[in-house]
Structure 1
Amino acid sequence: MEPLEISVPGLLLRSWELTDAAEVMAAMREPAIAQWNSTPSAAVGMEGAREWVRRRADWSSGDHASFALADPSTRALLGSISLHRIYDGDASIGYWTVAPARGRGLATLAVATVTGWAFQRLNLHRIELCHAVVNRGSCRVAEKTGYALEGTLRESHRYGDKQRYDEHLHARLATDE
């Protein structure tokens, strides 16, 4: 699988570039992103951030597809979205947006766009979206993009603060469309 760009009104989903490393490092240090992501190496230093970008830019394994969310006119980094654990028609989706991009519907637009693309182009059947129950913003994104709440996973994931949280499990099926 090769990286690609998807352009929708108001948002560009593009390949990760090494020049994004400084912005990734800054984003991972932002409290709201650090809280809900388990990627301390990207926050520690420039080499960790570069490695984080390199892994997301390399789609050759076929087990993930990762996009930088960017401003369509400047290509400036607004966030991240990834399909990961792609296997046998299933995948998981995760995302974050930088503070100035929040509240503009960009995460919702990105999730809807990548979900549609994945069902059509990757022939996925099921995509799961998990988030900490206390992360209400992610729950709203899941609801707005048609990811049905399937249940609560008790103390299922250790987030950036190293604490275990209950998670909501949402999912979409290709047949839901």
Structure 2
Amino acid sequence: MGNFTFAFFEINPISERDGWRLCDFCCANENHLSRFFPSTLASNLNPTLSKLFVEKKVSEFIKNEEYLFTLKEPQNRNIIGLVYVKAIDLAKNEAELAYCIDYNQANKGYTTIAVETISKWTLQLPNIHTLRIIVYKTNIGSIRVAEKCGYLWKETLLKEHTPPNEDPLDMELYVLKNER
């Protein structure tokens, strides 16, 4: 369920074996993750925390509550990115996608491929018809990914996200609909 292989990376559902790799990814990308993925970062600052985080995310995946996918290099299995399908609202038939990539892997097109792949996978789920991506206006790379994957800007969400030790930020909402 949800394994995808490409030339330079693969996408897999989170696995119990990912604890150390996820800890390594988060620690190596601490500055990159701290503003928009503070909970993921805080939950993966050491191997013990990562093990607990991974167990929770595997359980959520199995229960269809939230889906976390890893992007891995095929040769050494290092995690180079994450794609979440979260905030699943079955009453509204929608979910949110959130994603991040290792700073060394940025601008290679991997994130676009991953978001496009997971968007298609998610929209095949029976109760999800709309996907949302919420991004900060200065994150041009993330906006470009959303647009390349067919997401359309819908509105500015006022004070939508509060990074650690910062005032609330207005965020941009991009939407992809699957009209069934």
1:155 counterpart = 2:159: yes
Between the aligned partners of 1:25 and 1:97, the Cα distance in structure 2 is: 10
TM value normalised by structure 1: 0.86
Deviations 1:87-116 (A, max 9, x none): 322100001011111110111110000001
Aligned to 2:32: 32
Question: 1:166: how far off?
Answer: 0.8
Between the aligned partners of 2:53 and 2:166, the Cα distance in structure 1 is: 19
1:134 counterpart = 2:132: no
Contact 1:68 1:81 in 2 (8 A): yes
Between the aligned partners of 1:149 and 1:112, the Cα distance in structure 2 is: 16
| 1:40-51 pair list within 5 angstroms | 40-51=41-52
Contact 1:68 1:79 in 2 (8 A): yes
| 1:1-177 pair list within 5 angstroms | 4-16=2-14, 17-29=18-30, 31-39=31-39, 40-58=41-59, 59-88=61-90, 89-175=93-179
Question: 1:157: how far off?
Answer: 0.9
SS of residue in 2 equivalent to 1:82: strand
Contact 2:156 2:172 in 1 (8 A): yes
What is the number of equivalent residue pairs in this alignment?
A: 173
Between the aligned partners of 2:176 and 2:5, the Cα distance in structure 1 is: 22
Q: Percent identity?
A: 20
Contact 2:97 2:133 in 1 (8 A): yes
The amino acid of 1:45's aligned partner reads N
Superposition RMSD in Å: 2.1
Deviations 1:28-73 (A, max 9, x none): 52x1221221214235433223223222222133121111111133
Between the aligned partners of 2:164 and 2:137, the Cα distance in structure 1 is: 15
